[in-house]
Structure 1
Amino acid sequence: MTAAPDILCIGSVLWDIIGRSAATLRLGSDVPGRITRLPGGVAMNIAMTLRRFGFTPALLTAMGRDPEGQELLAACARMGMVTDHIYLSDDLPTDRYMAVEGANGLIAAIADAHSLEAAGDKILRPLSEGRLGPWRGPVALDGNLTEALLAEIAQSPLFADADLRVAPASPGKAERLTPLLHSPRATLYVNLEEAGLLCLTRFASAPEAAGALVARGAARVLVTDGGRACADGGPDGVLTAIPPQVLVTRVTGAGDTFMAAHIAAETGGADRAQALEQALRAAADYVSGDIGS
């Protein structure tokens, strides 16, 4: 019997193909390293971290009925996630993400999430048909969805009582979050570059960016900036904290880990400062390789 979920993770669940090298990489570098293939995607990364904190996430996403999709579906189920509500397509392939990381960080990445985009609001049928909705708990939502679908979610009565926690997926998709910028139910999780894209400017620090996003109408926003100060901005002002200093061995998925740990802390009753500290510690452990992918 499938367990009842306590949080929805809506967005990309795909195969991550990550090449990592200990060398500093430049354009055209050809170096030894390791290539891994693991379940990934923003929604999946968040769900995996939430599982470590004892949550039972339900995945709302799209997968193909191809061999890659069947393998991915089985992997999600083995990790204890609720997979009953995933949209399975006969004609769309399972999505993939490819990245190259070196000692100098993320070099390049390509997200092939076209099947998720093509599926559109089909992934929300479990809510519209009453199997899961209207949903009144926390929702982790990622910007791999189309801007039209994100705008629909921002206005939908299916999410009227939901606690929306939103990530842009990447700087290239940050502007898709614009429809949610003024939602009173949405908490945005962005990095410094993404904050600048949403405000059509550049910021020197996370606290500055958090203050500007709140001034633009965001109900609440968390802004990260790598190893520099991060900020939690809201109606009670801007709270800042410094991430622990660690040796960085990987970066893909760090922001998703931060977001999931923050959701887990606040859902468990932590105050703003405690939640921020837990999120920063979880992200630091992740990038240093102290916890699993």
Structure 2
Amino acid sequence: MRELELVVVGSLNMDLTVPVTRLPGRGETVAGAAAVRAAGGKGANQAVAAARLGARVRLVGQVGDDALGGELLAAVAREGVDVSGVRQVPAATGLAMIVVEDGGENMITVASGANGLLRLTDLDLTGADALLLQLEIPVAACLAAARQARAHGVPVILNAAPYTQGLEELLTQVDLLIVNEGEAAALCGGGTDPAALLALGPRAAVVTLGEHGARGQDASGVCQVPSFPVHAVDAVGAGDTFCAQLALAHAAGLPLAQAVRRACAAGALATTGHGAQTAMPTGDQVERLFAHAS
């Protein structure tokens, strides 16, 4: 695919990750291994993933004016992401607390900090091939960004995660909606059929199914795409990698089934290493997995 330019409006968090042999139950304490601190947040993760995959990426968001904020900006910039649109504001930087068990399943709690204070007025979409949004920032900020993108003819991709209420107007501005099964059920009142998601307003919808791949639907029909068999060790960041690759494939004009298959490959590769951004694959790695699987 040609080099694409992606604008990501989203969150930046500092991730604190603790590996465990099994996830704790309600009210339970489980001993873990050494904690790891790393750059994260769905916005930053998806921006880094897209840059690794070969796109030019601009990230728009907020961090605090504390030490963690500066550390986050430096980490994301090192990945080749343009962070000139990320402001430092007088607030705490977002923080994510992550527990990962053997086999890759995880539990995550997020303290929004500066992310929750993001307000958006003018958004520079010059040269952008697509706008990618998530819901770790206020819905109002997402809606403002989506409206500006629609006005400029820039496709809008929304990863509606984590699920929140009040998305009715935003969904009417979306070209491609990406959710997991839990988010789909919350949006549709229990169902996970992409057709039910399309009824909410987006032009296309994809539901990720974990190790079972993904299901999508647009005006051309329905596609069911299997996952790629890999040795998974950590699923943190896999969904963000899937979203970044799907956004780029969609912006490049690939048919939905082809775009989803490419996203499944990228997401699978992201589970083969530890951490979110540190495990994200390059475009060449995705191509090699395709070649091996074909």
1 CA distance for matches of 2:31 and 2:112?
28
State whether structure 2 residue 72 is matched by structure 1 residue 80: no
RMSD: 2.5
Given residue 191 of structure 1, which amino acid in structure 2 is its aligned partner? N
Task: For residues 68-123 of structure 1, give each alpha carbon's deviation from its aligned partner in whole angstroms, at most 9, with x where no partner exists.
Answer: 1112111222211111121221x2121111111113654532111131121322xx
Unpaired segments of 5 or more residues in structure 1? 204-208
Given residue 26 of structure 1, which amino acid in structure 2 is its aligned partner? P
TM-score with structure 2 length normalisation?
0.83
Q: Which residue is equivalent to 1:243?
A: 227
Q: Which residue is equivalent to 2:292?
A: none
Secondary structure of the equivalent of 1:117? helix
Unpaired segments of 5 or more residues in structure 2? 281-294
State whether structure 2 residue 163 is matched by structure 1 residue 179: no
Q: Which residue is equivalent to 2:208?
A: 224
State whether structure 2 residue 242 is matched by structure 1 residue 258: yes
TM-score with structure 1 length normalisation?
0.84
Secondary structure of the equivalent of 2:228? coil
Given residue 242 of structure 1, which amino acid in structure 2 is its aligned partner? P
Secondary structure of the equivalent of 1:244? coil
State whether structure 2 residue 185 is matched by structure 1 residue 193: no
Q: Which residue is equivalent to 1:149?
A: 141
State whether structure 2 residue 283 is matched by structure 1 residue 285: no
Shift of 1:60: 0.3
Alignment of structure 1 residues 61-72 onto 2, 5 Å:
61-72=61-72
Task: Calculate percent identity across the aligned residue pairs.
Answer: 25
Shift of 1:54: 1.4
In the alignment, which of 166, 184, 194 is matched to residue 158 of structure 2?
166
Partners of 1:222 and 1:230 within 8 A in 2: yes
Length, aligned pairs only: 273
Partners of 2:198 and 2:204 within 8 A in 1: yes
Distance 1:224 1:85, change over 3 A: same
1 CA distance for matches of 2:106 and 2:273?
19
Partners of 1:143 and 1:169 within 8 A in 2: yes
Secondary structure of the equivalent of 1:149? helix
Partners of 2:14 and 2:95 within 8 A in 1: yes
2 CA distance for matches of 1:278 and 1:60?
26
Partners of 1:136 and 1:163 within 8 A in 2: no
Given residue 152 of structure 1, which amino acid in structure 2 is its aligned partner? A
Q: Which residue is equivalent to 2:101?
A: 102
Distance 1:29 1:105, change over 3 A: farther
Shift of 1:286: 0.8
Q: Which residue is equivalent to 2:287?
A: none
Secondary structure of the equivalent of 1:39? strand
2 CA distance for matches of 1:47 and 1:35?
24
Which runs of at least 4 in structure 1 moved beyond 6 Å after TM superposition?
none
In the alignment, which of 7, 23, 26 is matched to residue 25 of structure 1?
23
Q: Which residue is equivalent to 1:212?
A: 196
